Amino acid sequence: MLIEDISELQKARFRYCPRLPAVFHANGARVQPLGGDKLEPAASEQDAIRERFPHTYAQPLLHFAGASPNSFKPINVGVILSGGQAPGGHNVIAGLYDALKSLNSRCQLIGFIGGPSGLLENESIPLRSDLIDRYRNTGGFDMIGSGRTKLETTDQFDQALETCRAHDLGALVIIGGDDSNTNACVLAEYYASIDAGVQVIGCPKTIDGDLKNSFIETSFGMDTACKVYSELIGNIGRDACSGRKYWHFVKLMGRSASHIALECALQTQPNVALISEEVAEEDMTLDDVVDTICDSICTRAEAGMDFGLVLIPEGLIEFIPAMGELISELNDLLAMHEETEDEYRTRIGNTHDALTQSKTDADARKAGLSEGAAHTFIALPGGIRKQLLLDRDPHGNVQVSRIETEKLLITKVKSNLKARKAEKRYSGKFSSQAHFFGYEGRCAPPSNFDADYCYALGYCAASLIGNGCTGYIAAIRHLNRPAEDRIPCGVPTTSLMNMERRHGEERPVIKKALVELAGSPFQAFAEKRRTWAQETHFVYPGPIQYFGPANVCDQPTMTLQLEDDLG
């Protein structure tokens, strides 16, 4: 990176010193662990999880109680970024590096290149201060890259162990989402079971916000990503208000859970925000969803406002029960069964053609869909049908993120409004614009919140390593308080596990934390959305600020604030 390729803001941010919880501020990572209650998963899961994780089951929740009287031996640590990018990843690594050096200046940190595959293939770089310093408080995962290879099999674990031995590593830090932390936990258990001498610590990353529980209050990156999206939604809302002629449909990244859509709704107060979990809970059809939007459009049109703002979570389509069933049937239908490659191709080709040419429910049933799925399929606009058939991942699955839900909704809204117009229930003018925000926020420079939080996570991971822990996730509690008042802790990963059916077998996985409809963030939204649907209460958050007043620069997400208000 040439110096002239570095923006002025980035140069200024290099100099930002993230604020640490008091215990780290005073002692670095040389802290004394204090075990609390043993943490176990939900009662129904305990037997199955205990059986699979005999060495890492029911470990205590750990806090840190001031300076440790121990001396710390130098240890070599490897770090991996796993999965999709999230703002703050570089700060976890910077915090880990600084904290390891505070344990013992002879500690070494190496980074595995391109995610878990770097560990398997022993592709790594030593992380030294000159490199670290060029990535402090920056967005992106480009320091060492990330990847989606899954560490799942014993063969992989053994291969990884060879890499660890080659570098004399005593610990691995895996920065990832729910799946990556699940795998980290299985790896920790395996290494403990064979006495490999390699500790494994996870860090909770994902802009989706679906890796959380009562100790892990949020995953890192969500704060920044939601603030970037809210900046853009606010700008678009102000444009809608000024031009008064467009309804903007904004789809927001977030594969399953609607935490991002909910947080952005709380920040920007749009006319409609769809929450997938509610759509599923209420068993809504696509037409119900479209009706919700059209009700707002009609009410606002009567008040002379032919403009508005609709937020759509990326995962919505799968949460509409009928659509979810259709997608799952298509996945089955188009997957490879027990057949040769040639047989598969011929069958797929025929199914494709039959579905593409289907004009009636009966046609689609003949092509292999159930009555319900056929009906859902035929009711979809042609463009969307095509996307369902063509945009498939290497396993033959529909790529939900490629489905242009925002355009599907616009098409459906148009025909719904046409019908209402014919019935004299609507007399407005409808024009629309579609947007999809995802990549815009995943590598944004981290907010002060994420910069501080991530840096503290790095310290926490180092403290857990220094104290010999494995099978833990680093966590920082009381994130709604000023940085120095936050409480770092180690959460035993097995306590987050439950058994789920994946690829046809029961497996222990970290439970995805969906939006809770009874939770205070959703309730705060539900209380106001009727007013927002009718009137204009858009909020314009503006761009993330780093240098201004604390109430502008240092607020956590509304989700965190609301959850904290309650308890």
DSSP state at residue 147: B
CB atoms within 10 A of CB 351: 17
CA distances from 336 to 330, 331, 333, 346, 401 (A): 12, 10, 8, 11, 22
Q: Which is nearer to a second copy, 27 or 268 (by Cβ)?
A: 268
Please tell me the distance from the alpha carbon of residue 96 to that of residue 454, in angstroms, as a whole number: 9
- Which residue in the set 170, 209, 221, 441 belongs to the binding site for a second copy (CB under 8 A)? 441
Please tell me the distance from the alpha carbon of residue 47 to that of residue 41, in angstroms, as a whole number: 9
Angle at which helix 405-422 crosses helix 382-390, to 10 degrees, equals: 160
Please tell me the distance from the alpha carbon of residue 557 to that of residue 565, in angstroms, as a whole number: 12
Stretch that binds a second copy, among 271-279, 391-399, 486-494, 546-554 (CB under 8 A): 546-554
- Which residue in the set 138, 182, 448, 494 belongs to the binding site for a second copy (CB under 8 A)? 138
Contact 450, 556 (CB under 8 A): no
How far is CA 458 from its chain centroid? 19
Q: Tell me phi and psi for residue 23, to 5 degrees.
A: -65, -35
- Tally of residues, the chain: 567
Q: How far is the CB of 221 from a second copy (least distance, A)?
A: 12
- Which residue in the set 198, 232, 279, 289 belongs to the binding site for a second copy (CB under 8 A)? 232
Q: Tell me phi and psi for residue 493, to 5 degrees.
A: -65, -35
Stretch that binds a second copy, among 19-27, 62-70, 504-512, 536-544 (CB under 8 A): 536-544
Q: Does 2 bind a second copy (CB under 8 A)?
A: yes
Q: Does 527 bind a second copy (CB under 8 A)?
A: no
Q: How far is the CB of 85 from a second copy (least distance, A)?
A: 5
The most distant pair of C-alpha atoms in the chain lies apart, rounded to whole Å, by 80
Please tell me the distance from the alpha carbon of residue 459 to that of residue 29, in angstroms, as a whole number: 6
SS3 382: helix
Q: Tokens in use for 486?
A: 């936050």
Stretch that binds a second copy, among 272-280, 390-398, 415-423, 439-447 (CB under 8 A): 439-447
Q: Does 525 bind a second copy (CB under 8 A)?
A: no
Strands (E), 280-419: 308-313
Stretch that binds a second copy, among 203-211, 324-332, 443-451, 505-513 (CB under 8 A): 443-451
- Which residue in the set 116, 221, 445, 556 belongs to the binding site for a second copy (CB under 8 A)? 445
- Which residue in the set 46, 235, 292, 523 belongs to the binding site for a second copy (CB under 8 A)? 235
Q: How far is the CB of 543 from a second copy (least distance, A)?
A: 3
Binding marks (x or -) toward a second copy, 182..211, rule CB under 8 A? ------------------------------
Q: Which is nearer to a second copy, 76 or 401 (by Cβ)?
A: 401
Stretch that binds a second copy, among 121-129, 228-236, 311-319, 408-416 (CB under 8 A): 228-236
Contact 540, 527 (CB under 8 A): no
Contacts of 167 (CB under 8 A, 6+ apart): 76, 78, 110, 124
Going by C-alpha positions, the residue among 175, 190, 181 that lies closest to residue 213 is: 181
Q: Does 444 bind a second copy (CB under 8 A)?
A: yes
Q: Does 130 bind a second copy (CB under 8 A)?
A: no
Q: How far is the CB of 105 from a second copy (least distance, A)?
A: 30
Q: How many CA atoms lie within 13 A of 18 on its CB side?
A: 30
Q: Which is nearer to a second copy, 69 or 394 (by Cβ)?
A: 394
Stretch that binds a second copy, among 227-235, 408-416, 419-427, 463-471 (CB under 8 A): 227-235
Q: Does 546 bind a second copy (CB under 8 A)?
A: yes
Contact 86, 220 (CB under 8 A): yes
HEC secondary structure over 436-476: EECHHHHCCCCCHHHHHHHHHHHHHHHHHHHCCCCCEEEEE
Q: Does 390 bind a second copy (CB under 8 A)?
A: no
Residue in this structure with the two tokens 């996730």, named with its chain if needed = 473
Region 238-277 residues binding a second copy, contact defined as CB under 8 A? 238-239, 241-244, 246, 248, 269
Q: How far is the CB of 252 from a second copy (least distance, A)?
A: 14
Please tell me the distance from the alpha carbon of residue 312 to that of residue 288, in angstroms, as a whole number: 14
Stretch that binds a second copy, among 32-40, 167-175, 224-232, 479-487 (CB under 8 A): 224-232
Binding marks (x or -) toward a second copy, 51..90, rule CB under 8 A? ---------------------------------xx-----
Q: Does 443 bind a second copy (CB under 8 A)?
A: yes
- Which residue in the set 517, 539, 561, 564 belongs to the binding site for a second copy (CB under 8 A)? 539
Q: Which is nearer to a second copy, 88 or 471 (by Cβ)?
A: 88
Q: Does 114 bind a second copy (CB under 8 A)?
A: yes
To 10 degrees, the CA torsion angle through 209, 563, 214, 19? Answer: 70
Query: Amino acid identity, residue 527?
Result: E
Region 8-37 residues binding a second copy, contact defined as CB under 8 A? 8-10, 12-13
Active site residues: 208
Please tell me the distance from the alpha carbon of residue 156 to that of residue 144, in angstroms, as a whole number: 20
Q: Does 385 bind a second copy (CB under 8 A)?
A: no
CB atoms within 10 A of CB 1: 9
- Which residue in the set 57, 72, 112, 141 belongs to the binding site for a second copy (CB under 8 A)? 141
Contacts of 421 (CB under 8 A, 6+ apart): 427
- Which residue in the set 22, 352, 537, 561 belongs to the binding site for a second copy (CB under 8 A)? 537
Please tell me the distance from the alpha carbon of residue 353 to that of residue 130, in angstroms, as a whole number: 58
Q: Does 561 bind a second copy (CB under 8 A)?
A: no
Q: Does 541 bind a second copy (CB under 8 A)?
A: yes
- Which residue in the set 344, 555, 561, 564 belongs to the binding site for a second copy (CB under 8 A)? 555
Stretch that binds a second copy, among 6-14, 316-324, 493-501, 556-564 (CB under 8 A): 6-14
Please tell me the distance from the alpha carbon of residue 81 to that of residue 483, in angstroms, as a whole number: 24
Binding residues (CB under 8 A) for a second copy: these are: 2, 5-10, 12-13, 84-85, 114, 138-142, 145-146, 228, 231-232, 234-236, 238-239, 241-244, 246, 248, 269, 433, 435, 439-445, 537-549, 551-552, 555
